[in-house]
Amino acid sequence: MPARCQYKTETRNCLFNNCKQWKTQQKTLWAEVREATGRGKNRFTIRDLLADTRCTHAVLDFLRSTKVGSRVGPRAVPPKLGEDGTTGAGRRDDKEGVGEEEE
Ligand SMILES: [Zn+2]
Write out pLDDT tens, residues 17-32: 989 889 999 999 999 9
pLDDT at 74: 53
Quickly count: other Cβ atoms within 10 Å of residue 28's Cβ.
14
For the chain, where are the alpha helices, taking DSSP H only? 12-13, 23-37, 46-51, 56-66
- Taking the centre of ligand 1 as the mean of its atom positions, its distance from the CA of residue 62, in whole angstroms, is 14
Is the model more confident about 6 or about 97? 6
Residues 6 or more apart whose Cβ sits within 8 Å of residue 13: 46
- Taking the centre of ligand 1 as the mean of its atom positions, its distance from the CA of residue 27, in whole angstroms, is 14
Is the model more confident about 83 or about 27? 27
- Tens of pLDDT, residue by residue over 26-70, are 999 999 999 999 999 999 999 999 999 999 999 999 999 987 655
- Taking the centre of ligand 1 as the mean of its atom positions, its distance from the CA of residue 70, in whole angstroms, is 16
pLDDT at 25: 94
**In a 3-state reduction of DSSP, which class is residue 88?**
coil
- Taking the centre of ligand 1 as the mean of its atom positions, its distance from the CA of residue 74, in whole angstroms, is 25
